[in-house]
Each structure stands twice: as C-alpha cells, then as structure tokens.
Structure 1
C-alpha cells in the first residue's frame, strides 16, 4: 500500500509540474456521462500522455457494481476503460501502462484471463497490488496511462 501511495504521489507531482510548466498542453477530458459531483477528471491529457482515473466495475446502466462477482466486476472495469477511451476518440491500443488493485491477490490469475480479452501482445506494462479495500466495496480497480 505504501508503494501505491508513493507512486500516486509521484504521478501527481509530475503531472502538476508538467501542467504548471505547460498549461496550454493540458486538457481535462470529461463527458457528460461522468458524474459531475466526483472530484476528478476521466482523463487528463498532458502533451502526448493520457492519465486515466481509476475505474471500477460500475455498470453505467444501473449505477451499481456489476453482477457476477470478481469476473463480472473485472469485465465491467475493463469495459468502462474501453468506453471512456472511445468517448474521447482513443482506444485500448493507446494504453501503455496499467495499475491493477485487487482486494484479493488470489484473483490475479482470473484477472489475467479477462485482461487478455481487452489487450493483445505486446501488452502494456503493468503493476498489480493487493489492497485492503476499494471504493464502493469494489474488488478490482484499474488505472491506466496512455500515449498518443
């Protein structure tokens, strides 16, 4: 967890530094489908880099976590990433790095089976961490970095 916090802080510092040095090269991308009450952007485009906020397995039709346990949530999480990218005219092929957070590291093998349905070789770089808890009691969260 400490490593995850350090990574998030470093990314935040780097993005803030870049944004201050190049404010005209930073775009905060949100669709009307994003919840305006949440304090983050769907994607921040800084130069040729895309920073995506973490996604969990919320079914956009119901506003609740997807049915089907871990597999259902993992598929919905990756569908949400794909949909968000497409809403901004990007695709899964733009992704170069993923960070995966699992509440049960024993789900890692099952996640890999689903992950390979959304990405193909050469795969993005990736890190995976076991965490104590995630927002809305989700069991998986994925955040991504992309390149144009």
Structure 2
C-alpha cells in the first residue's frame, strides 16, 4: 500500500506541514483549498470559483477530474454566502454530484471566506 504525494504548481503551495493531496489505492485525499488572492475581493462567487479551480488543478495532477469526486466538505466563514457558493460549486458538476457537507466556521486560514476539501476515487 504505497502512497503517492500529489502536487500541482498551478494550485497554492501548502502553508504548513501537509501535502496538497495524497493518493493511495486509487483514492485521492485533497487538502482544503483556498483562493487567497480573491479572498479580499468582496466577491464570494469569484473566490469560490478560484477554490474549485485549485481543486481541479490538483485533480488533474492525479489524472482525475471533478467527476471522480465522491465526497466534499465546504467550510464557510459566513453561512449567508451558502447560496452563492452553492451556485458556483454546482456548476462544476454536470451530473451525479458528490456527497457533501457545508458548515460555518469561526475562522479559516489566511482569513479567507471559503475552503473546500475533497475525496476522489479512480477505479
């Protein structure tokens, strides 16, 4: 059972002692992604899109895409942003969206407004 560290230069580098993603037995565990450069824009949709794009870069580095995601976790600074983030998130899944939870948290890394982590499987 060998694990493989997945890294994409297109996505933000880790800001701590963790990997962007770890692949083991066909399952990819992607660390929470943020869009730091968009966090202060005041545009939650743009920030959410940036987060989803960062996830896509990591999926691509592992030879996967959004269709391989089976579980996601969305962390919001403000649950009032739910509808807008949900709209952006949903646009990345044309059919059979993954299982998911969305929670409001007190604070996120680098004071961003949204962070998303996923688990993807390639059979």
TM-score category (smaller protein)? 0.7 to 0.9
For residues 26-54 of structure 1, give each alpha carbon's deviation from its aligned partner in whole angstroms, at most 9, with x where no partner exists.
Answer: 11112355537631111101112110010
The answer to whether the aligner puts 1:89 opposite 2:63 as a matched pair is yes
**2:38 counterpart of 1:65:** yes
Normalised TM-score (structure 1): 0.73
User: For structure 1, which runs of at least 5 residues remain unmatched after alignment?
Assistant: 1-21, 59-63
Correspondence 1:31-70 to 2 at 5 A:
31-32=8-9, 35=13, 38-58=16-36, 64-65=37-38, 67-70=41-44
Deviation of residue 117 (structure 1)? Answer: 1.1
The answer as to whether partners of 2:30 and 2:119 remain within 8 angstroms in 1 is yes
Q: Of the candidates 79, 102, 118, which is equivalent to residue 144 of structure 1?
A: 118
Write 1 or 2 for the structure with the bigger share of helix: 1
Render the CA deviation track for 1:38-84: whole Å, top value 9, x for unaligned. Answer: 311111011121100100113xxxxx235352111111000111122
The more displaced of 27-36 and 69-78 is 27-36
Shift of residue 107, structure 1, vs aligned partner: 1.0
Aligned to 1:80: 54
Q: Report which of the two structures shows the higher radius of gyration computed on alpha carbons.
A: 1
- Normalised by the length of structure 2, the TM-score is 0.87
Point out which structure has higher relative CO (alpha carbons under 8 A, 6+ apart): 2
Q: Give the SS at the match of 2:84.
A: helix
The CA RMSD measured in Å over matched residues stands at 1.8
Structure 2 vs 1, CA of residues 69 and 32 (structure 1 numbering), >3 Å: closer, same or farther?
closer
Give me the whole-angstrom Cα distance separating, in 2, the residues matched to 1:35 and 1:130: 24
Task: Please say if residues 14 and 20 of structure 2, whose CA atoms lie closer than 8 Å, have aligned partners that are also in contact.
Answer: no
Give 2:109's aligned residue: 135
